[in-house]
Structure formats: C-alpha cells, structure tokens
Amino acid sequence: MKVDVLIVGAGGAGLYAALSAAEEAKGMEVAVLTKVYPTRSHTGAAQGGVNAALANVDPTDSEELHTFDTVKGSDYLADQKAVKYMCFEAPRIIREMEHMGVPFSRLNNGKIAQRPFGGASKDRTCYSADKMGHVMLHTLYEQCIKHDIKFLNEWFMLNIVHDGERLQGVTAINIATGEIQFIHAKAVILATGGHSRIYWGYTSNALGCTGDGTAAALRAGLPLKDMEFLQFHPTGLRKSAILVSEAARGEGGHLLNNKGERFMSKYAPEKMELGPRDLVSRSIMTEIREGRGFKDEEGREYVHLDLTHLGEEKIKSRLPQIRELTIDFEGIDPIKEPIPIKPTAHYAMGGIHTDVRCETPIAGIYAAGEAQCVSVHGANRLGGNSLLDIVVFGHVAGKEAVRYAEGTDFAKGGESKLQDDVKFIQELFDRESKETLGDLRDELGEIMFRHFGVFKNEKEMQEGYDKLKNLIERANKNLAVEDKSKVFNTDLQSLLEFYNLLEIADVLAYASLQRKESRGSFYRDDYPKRDDENFLYHSMISRNSDGSFKYEKGKVDLSLYEPAERKY
Ligand SMILES: Cc1cc2nc3c(=O)[nH]c(=O)nc-3n(C[C@H](O)[C@H](O)[C@H](O)COP(=O)(O)OP(=O)(O)OC[C@H]3O[C@@H](n4cnc5c(N)ncnc54)[C@H](O)[C@@H]3O)c2cc1C
C-alpha cells in the first residue's frame, strides 16, 4: 500500500492533522490509520474543557496571560515561544471548531461559556457541560467524513521504517484479518496518544493509552523528551481511578480531609482547590500520609471531594457525566454525599521530541498530540491545555507534513523490515506462555505506582527499577499469544501493547533516576527543591546501537520570562 501522508491515530490530534492536511494537499492522498474506531479514541473521554483567552467571562484575560500561566504552570520547563504560539492560536482555533459545529456551552449573551480551571489566572476554559472531548471528537470525525478522508480503521501500527535520513513507511497489522503489511509513505504523523497505562490500575486513561507510537519512535532511534514528567491528576475515583474532572473544582467543589477541613488553605491559600495539579496531588497525598485521610475496608486511602453545596441543578446541568460515573463506579450520588477521591496517573508531558513545526530529527516523521513533546507543558500541564495542544499542533503537523511530501518522492526500500515483524509475531504465536499477561500487567502498575508515584526518592526508585528489569526479562521470555487465530486477535494486540508499555516504563524509570531535583509533577523527597543551575534542561533519551540508553540535555527556550518561584 502507498499513501502520501499517513496519519497514525484518530484522536483530536490525528483528526485535526487529517483535516488540515486534506485542506493543504492538492492531489495527494491523506489517510488515517487507527487501532480503534475513530470515535472511540481517548480524546472522547476528555471532560472539563479547552483553554483559549476569549475573554468572554473576564474581559481582562489575554493571550499573554495564558502564555504566562502556562509557563509558570510548567515550572519553567516549557519552551516559551512554543507556548506563546499555542496560546495566541487558541482563540482562532476555538472559533474554527465552533464554525465546524462543536456545541460549546453558552453564556446568557450567546458567547462561548468559560469556567475557571487549575493554575489559570482567569476564567478561560471553554466547555461543553463535562463532555468537551466527546463533542470535539465527533465533530472532527464528521468533518473528516465530509472531506472524504480515507480511514484504515482497526489497523495497528507496529514499527516506523526509515533509512537513517528519510522516512520509508510503517509496518502495521490489519486487526480484522491478522495480515501484516508494509505501508509506503512520504510523511507520517504519529498522533498515537499518551502512555499513562504504564500505571496499570492506577490511571484515568483508556486501555489503549499504551504509548505505541512513542515506543515505536524509540525503537526507530528517535529521541524521547522529558519522559520523567508524568502528571498525577488530583481527583481520580477511589476504586477505579476514573477521572473526576477539574471542572468539579472549577464549579466550586471543595477538597476535605477527615477533620472536615478544606486543607488546600495550607498549600495554596490564594488558589485553594484551583492550584495546579502537581501541587493539589501532593497536598492530597500529604494529608493521607499524615493521617488526615480516610481508609475503606479494603485499605484504600482517599480524601473527599465535596460537591453537595453546589446543589442538584448545577450538578445535573454542568457536571452530568461526573455524577453518572460516580454513581456507576462508587455507588455514590454527589448531589447527596462527598466523592471519595485519590490522585490518578493522567497525562504524559514527555513524548516524541519535535520542534515547533512538529518535525522529528528524521525527515518525513512528524508527531502531534499527547504522543509528542514540543514542549508546551514542561514539567506540569495545566488543565484544558491538552485539548488545545492537540488541535493547534495537529493543525501544524498536517500542514507541515503535506508541504514536505509535496517536495519529495517515496523513499526506496524498507519492505524488508516487514519480515522482522512477521518473524517476531510468529515467535509470539509459537512459544508457550509460562505466566499470564494480566498478572504481569498488574505487576507493572504496582511497580510504577509504588516506586514512581507522586512522591519519589532514590532508594525506592532504584528498587522499583530493579523490579522492572526483572519484569521485562520475564515478559520477554514467558509471555506468548494464547489465542492462535488471526482474526480480531485481541490477545496478540494486548501483548504487543504490553511490550510497548514496558519500553516506555523503562525510559521513564531511567530518566527519573537522572533528575536529582523536584520540578512540577516530578517530586523527590530526597531533592525537594527545584535546581535551575543543574537541571533546567530537557532530558532527551534515545537508544545506542547496543540497546543501552543515550542521555542528552536539550536547551529550554527561556526567551520570554525569567524562571521564578511558583506561588499560588
Ligand atoms: C479522563 C480524561 C479527561 C481529560 N479531560 C481533559 C480536558 O478536559 N481538557 C484537556 O485539555 N485535556 C483533557 N485530558 C487530556 C486529553 O484528553 C488527552 O491528552 C488528549 O485527548 C490526547 O489526544 P491525542 O489525539 O493525542 O490522543 P488520543 O485521543 O489518545 O488518540 C490516540 C489515537 O492513536 C491511535 N493509536 C494508538 N496506538 C496506535 C497503534 N499502535 N496503531 C494505530 N493507531 C494507534 C488510537 O486508535 C487513537 O485513535 C483528559 C484526559 C483524560 C484521561
């Protein structure tokens, strides 16, 4: 198969990239390849909203303030000009989506409504009740259908193939038939989403957020950036870790400890519950560690998110999905009782290194969305900035990939890589499993949560890394595909995803051990202070030819604001 511009991923980033590529492309074929049906992509789970300084609620808001809040929220690790670009693009792209038909909630005057969100100095988050991602994803998909964009639905990308300088194509399995193919492409955009599933059982992310594109990029020799930065969202449901959006606090929800105190007054006296996520997550864990949390019969520790004072009408109209999820997964109606919550692994700030044009160091390979690290979120993302990032940089990636593809032909070769993948998969079918995938996946989640959680230190991380190495060795030897059929083999897919998770966990653990400071979401008890002198850099990790990690330091763009202490 040959495609001029291939987009891997049909979440918000992939679909926006497809739309702008299709608009830019004259006579070139643009196709989207996705392992799940487009409208099942994880973007559909996004709840609270998307940021843009429209100034509809607070006329004093501006793109400059949005830029500053984002840089400050990132603990000064974001690249400042890239942040500025994103924040200045925000109003235009929100209006573009409004014109496509995204049904935003409205103010009484008919303008797009905006709510307060964590770490933002103004009410800046545009929303659609608490279903922002769902309505965005469906509208973007409708537009893709309207533009006749070709979809390869339920295809699983295995590897990226290049000749050291240029992209040649990708290998992928057609999940419906089990057939493995080499797809020639002039340009590919990796929009494969995040990898928080490395915290299996302790994450708000969908089952498919397994970092497949990120792991494939690493195998292809591309550098991954800032992988030690993974955000814990403060409010996951106690039992399932499913997200309760920041919108719940934006609408006025209170965090309470077992003494009934609004404990955020100690940690963020000004912003209270609307402090940035890293700070609120640490505050919750501190309350729990110091004995001011709750414990259920099964030993799960948590604090309360109280919405009862908001009243039935507000909860039903502004937070209907949160209410439904809490009833279904906790058996609690937030109109009547506080919600038991604890931090949940939520968002990967790190990812495939690109510049602001979404280009990786290999010509023809682009990345966008949560899989990509430009970086606009640095050490800690602000709520509402991911849905913005994915559409702004999805748009850029689509245009840039087409421009590149227009000026080039298909690179020759690469087909032989197909045989390596066929052989690897055949081996997985041929061998006997000695352990079960489910057990090992749970073990991965336990290792990551216990040793690379909200609070970290050298000893625990080193112990965790040793356990992880042992797990990787066992997984490589002891796991096999149990279901021997070819058609819709979810067993095979789950195993391939697990191998990707292990590669990502390995990088995250390695990168974490190198950073001897605390910054944003990355907090170490043994190095509790930010150390700009020694660690104000992007970590860049790729593989040496012997498989070991190569660790390099990337420069942070500080051209707009001097790093300062963060206070909220
Ligand atoms: C519960 C929840 C709520 C959130 N709420 C908000 C919010 O209110 N505001 C906000 O700004 N952010 C929010 N976020 C974050 C935001 O939703 C995500 O960061 C964003 O949607 C990621 O979009 P994406 O397009 O990069 O990836 P995704 O939407 O995850 O899409 C990834 C795509 O890649 C495809 N794919 C992956 N691997 C392969 C493979 N091997 N082969 C082929 N295809 C593949 C998948 O099929 C999918 O189509 C939330 C996150 C969660 C977990």
Whether residue 449 is predicted with pLDDT greater than 90 in this model: the reply is yes
Confidence of residue 29 (pLDDT cuts 50, 70, 90): very high
Query: Can you tell me the distance from the alpha carbon of 340 to that of 513, in angstroms, rounded to the nearest whole number?
Result: 32
Averaged over 20-44, what is the pLDDT? 95
What is the tens place of the pLDDT at every residue in 189-247? 999 999 999 999 999 999 999 999 999 999 999 999 999 999 999 999 999 999 998 88
Whether residue 509 is predicted with pLDDT greater than 90 in this model: the reply is yes
pLDDT of residue 424: 96
Test site for ligand 1: of 105, 134, 370, most ligand atoms within 8 A of the Cβ:
370
Query: Can you tell me the distance from the alpha carbon of 360 to that of 34, in angstroms, rounded to the nearest whole number?
Result: 21
Per CATH, 2-229+349-406 and 230-346 having the same topology is answered no
Domain boundaries, the chain: 2-229+349-406, 230-346
Confidence of residue 26 (pLDDT cuts 50, 70, 90): confident
Whether residue 307 is predicted with pLDDT greater than 90 in this model: the reply is yes
Q: Which of 472, 532, 474 is nearest to 508 (CA)?
A: 472
Query: Can you tell me the distance from the alpha carbon of 534 to that of 515, in angstroms, rounded to the nearest whole number?
Result: 9
Query: Can you tell me the distance from the alpha carbon of 196 to that of 210, in angstroms, rounded to the nearest whole number?
Result: 7
**CB-ligand 1 contact for 184 (6 Å cutoff):** no
Residue among 277, 381, 519, 524 flagged as catalytic: 277
Protein residue with least CA distance to atom 33, ligand 1: 9
**CB-ligand 1 contact for 42 (6 Å cutoff):** yes
CATH topology of domain 230-346: Flavocytochrome C3; Chain A, domain 1 (3.90.700)
What is the tens place of the pLDDT at every residue in 318-331? 999 999 999 999 99
Average pLDDT, the chain: 96
Whether residue 567 is predicted with pLDDT greater than 90 in this model: the reply is no
Q: Is 31 helix (H, G, I), strand (E, B) or coil?
A: strand
Confidence of residue 151 (pLDDT cuts 50, 70, 90): very high
Averaged over 427-444, what is the pLDDT? 97
Averaged over 368-373, what is the pLDDT? 98
CATH topology of domain 2-229+349-406: FAD/NAD(P)-binding domain (3.50.50)
Query: Can you tell me the distance from the alpha carbon of 564 to that of 350, in angstroms, rounded to the nearest whole number?
Result: 22
Half-sphere exposure of 59 (CA within 13 A, CB side): 0
450 is catalytic: no
What sign results for the dihedral spanned by CA atoms 482, 488, 492, 498? negative
β partners of residue 31: 6, 150
pLDDT of residue 27: 86
Give percent above pLDDT 70 in the chain. 100
Averaged over 48-65, what is the pLDDT? 97
Test site for ligand 1: of 40, 41, 251, most ligand atoms within 8 A of the Cβ:
41
Residue count (the chain):
568
Protein residue with least CA distance to atom 53, ligand 1: 205
Query: Can you tell me the distance from the alpha carbon of 545 to that of 555, in angstroms, rounded to the nearest whole number?
Result: 24
pLDDT of residue 170: 98
Averaged over 174-192, what is the pLDDT? 97
Query: Can you tell me the distance from the alpha carbon of 183 to that of 15, in angstroms, rounded to the nearest whole number?
Result: 19
Task: Say how many Å lie between the CA of residue 548 and the centre of ligand 1.
Answer: 29
Query: Can you tell me the distance from the alpha carbon of 333 to that of 323, in angstroms, rounded to the nearest whole number?
Result: 7
Averaged over 249-266, what is the pLDDT? 96
Test site for ligand 1: of 387, 391, 393, 500, most ligand atoms within 8 A of the Cβ:
387
